[in-house]
Amino acid sequence: MDTENQEWSNESFLGHCPSPRSLHTATCVGDKIVVFGGHEDNSAKNDVYILDTVTHRWTKPKVFGTPPSPRCAHSAVLIDGERILIYGGRDSMAKGDIWFLEVNTAFVRLQSELLNMEVVAWSKGVTGKAPRPVVICGPSGVGKGTLIGKLMKDFPDSFGFSVSHTTRRPREKEQDGVHYHFTKRPTMEKEISERKFLESADVHGNLYGTSWAAVDAVTNSGKTCILDIDVQGAQSVKKSPLDAIFVFIKPPYPEEAELRKRLHGRGTESEEQIQKRLQNAKAELERAKDPTLFDHILINGKLDEAYENLKVCHHVDVFDKYAGDVSRHTAKSVCNLLHARLDLICVTNLAGIARAVLDLSKISGGAPGITRGLNWVVTNSRANGIGNHNMQQPSVSLSQNHKLVPLKPLVAGNLSSTKAANGFTR
């Protein structure tokens, strides 16, 4: 439809077009239209297609991250020209989850430039302050594996390990898929060139890397993701949007002698390999002095003490997880919320019974990890007052036949005036 001349035309298009479908969404992003999901022949879909309205060409973009489950009848709205928020929908059951399809974030632009193709990236939306991933670094033999093992054993429901890929040979007790994904160098190099890795590095003569899938598997389960990677990897992750906490583990003095003793005690490396690891340890300890990289430096002298200290680093985050709890919101924070109206999305069911506002003003993270900091405010639209709010996710019935609507900015001025531009009263 030419909206200037008010004329319909039947256009032809090039490229890889989506199969016929219904109940999908088509979201305008500049000159492009991004189509997601929908319904075809009794099954829901979760694929993504992009139509360039200038060149009239369809493309199936390269997709990073784990996509949401197939769905139709969902809602979609573009946020800040960068990412499409996808809410709810259904396959055989109604859904109330939130996803972000990043179409123009820094991460997507970089990947698109590197691959010279259309790229999109999925990130799961999480309400409240979901736990931040934790990157653990330290020289070989310092006790990273031992400390992480204790944490995972004591808190299996809270922490999940990002299983790296490596080209080194498995040690006697190591299991493929649990400690590492053991692979061959040509295979890993090919996968790195296909951009399946968040970061990778040559360490002690072997390739190591964290795949997007490894991080997604943990973050999508809602657990805190723990990454055991070297300092080069930490530097790459620092530049990514993963928003992690960085912990460096140091040996007690004399550092080199202690590492040598522990590596000999572990008995998993040859003398030559131990020498190489000790040599690299010097550089790693030096790099750890960079005050911009690490949030916490822990000395693993007495194991129990180091473990208690490590738990303190994590506890900060475990408590953060609950800081966004609905019950903690006060009337004051709702007023603040109204001031951040450009960041709000309204969800209304067609029966008009209930209305929910999703506050996006505090979101953080994003692909390749989750997007955290979302908050729901449910209001009773009949009462038309945000005064009798409660903070909770809409019921699943709200997840059908809904629409996502970006709210308009408030009129300038004091909120205590009787009525705001959108009809909400205080």
Ligand X SMILES: Nc1ncnc2c1ncn2[C@@H]1O[C@H](COP(=O)(O)OP(=O)(O)O)[C@@H](O)[C@H]1O
Query: How many whole angstroms separate alpha carbon 355 and alpha carbon 348?
Result: 5
> Which one of the spans 103-111, 126-134, 201-209, 389-397 is the region binding ligand GDP (CB under 6 A)?
201-209
Residues of this chain, 167-186, that bind ligand GDP according to CB under 6 A: 168
Q: How far is the CB of 165 from ligand GDP (least distance, A)?
A: 7
* φ, ψ of residue 190 in degrees (nearest 5): -65, -45
Residues of this chain, 35-94, that bind ligand GDP according to CB under 6 A: none
Task: Determine, following the binding rule CB under 6 A, whether residue 144 of this chain makes contact with ligand X.
Answer: yes
By rule CB under 6 A, what count of residues binds ligand X?
A: 14
Query: Residue 206 forms beta bridges with which residues?
Result: 203
The single residue of 21, 109, 266, 426 carrying the catalytic annotation is 266
Report the largest interatomic distance among the alpha carbons of the chain, rounded to a whole angstrom. 81
71 is an active site residue? no
Task: Determine, following the binding rule CB under 6 A, whether residue 262 of this chain makes contact with ligand X.
Answer: yes
Structure tokens, 191: 């996968």
Query: How many whole angstroms separate alpha carbon 190 and alpha carbon 312?
Result: 40
Query: How many whole angstroms separate alpha carbon 424 and alpha carbon 381?
Result: 9
160 and 225 Cβ atoms separated by less than 8 Å? yes
Helix, strand or coil, per DSSP, at residue 165: strand
* φ, ψ of residue 404 in degrees (nearest 5): -100, 125
Q: How far is the CB of 196 from ligand GDP (least distance, A)?
A: 12
- Please say which residue, 72 or 227, places its beta carbon nearer to ligand GDP: 227
277 is an active site residue? yes
- Please say which residue, 233 or 241, places its beta carbon nearer to ligand GDP: 233
> Which one of the spans 187-195, 204-212, 305-313, 410-418 is the region binding ligand GDP (CB under 6 A)?
204-212
90 is an active site residue? no
- Please say which residue, 175 or 336, places its beta carbon nearer to ligand X: 175
Return the closest-CA partner of residue 410 out of 332, 333, 331, 335: 335
Is residue 406 classed exposed, middle or buried when 0-12, 13-18 and 19+ CB atoms within 10 A define those classes? Answer: middle
Pattern 89-108, ligand GDP, x by CB under 6 A: --------------------
> Which one of the spans 95-103, 198-206, 307-315, 403-411 is the region binding ligand GDP (CB under 6 A)?
198-206
What does 164 bind: ligand X, ligand GDP, none (CB cut-off 5 to 8 Å by kind)?
ligand GDP
In Å, what is the CA distance from 259 to each residue of 262, 264, 277? Answer: 5, 8, 9
Task: Determine, following the binding rule CB under 6 A, whether residue 287 of this chain makes contact with ligand GDP.
Answer: no
Task: Determine, following the binding rule CB under 6 A, whether residue 142 of this chain makes contact with ligand X.
Answer: yes
Instruction: Give the chain's length.
Output: 426
- Please say which residue, 281 or 386, places its beta carbon nearer to ligand GDP: 281
Q: How far is the CB of 248 from ligand X (least distance, A)?
A: 11
Contacting residue, 143, 241, 366, 368, with ligand X by CB under 6 A: 143
- Please say which residue, 145 or 385, places its beta carbon nearer to ligand GDP: 145
Query: How many whole angstroms separate alpha carbon 199 and alpha carbon 94?
Result: 36
Q: Which spans in 240-270 are helix H?
A: 255-266
The single residue of 83, 277, 355, 372 carrying the catalytic annotation is 277
> Which one of the spans 11-19, 44-52, 206-214, 352-360 is the region binding ligand GDP (CB under 6 A)?
206-214
In Å, what is the CA distance from 255 to each residue of 134, 141, 268, 288? Answer: 24, 11, 20, 14
242 and 133 Cβ atoms separated by less than 8 Å? yes
Contacting residue, 65, 67, 96, 141, with ligand X by CB under 6 A: 141
Q: How far is the CB of 188 from ligand X (least distance, A)?
A: 21
By rule CB under 6 A, what count of residues binds ligand GDP?
A: 17
Task: Determine, following the binding rule CB under 6 A, whether residue 232 of this chain makes contact with ligand GDP.
Answer: yes
Label residue 83 left, alpha or beta by phi (over 0 means left) and psi (-120 to 50 means alpha): beta
Is residue 320 classed exposed, middle or buried when 0-12, 13-18 and 19+ CB atoms within 10 A define those classes? Answer: middle
Axis-axis angle for helices 144-154, 303-323 (nearest 10): 50
Q: What is the Cα gyration radius of the chain?
A: 25
- Please say which residue, 21 or 287, places its beta carbon nearer to ligand X: 287
Pattern 123-162, ligand GDP, x by CB under 6 A: -----------------xx---x-----------------
Contacting residue, 265, 291, 352, 413, with ligand X by CB under 6 A: 265
Contacting residue, 208, 248, 376, 424, with ligand GDP by CB under 6 A: 208
Residues in contact with ligand X by CB under 6 A are 138, 140-146, 262, 265-266, 300, 303, 306
The residues assigned a catalytic role are: 171, 266, 277
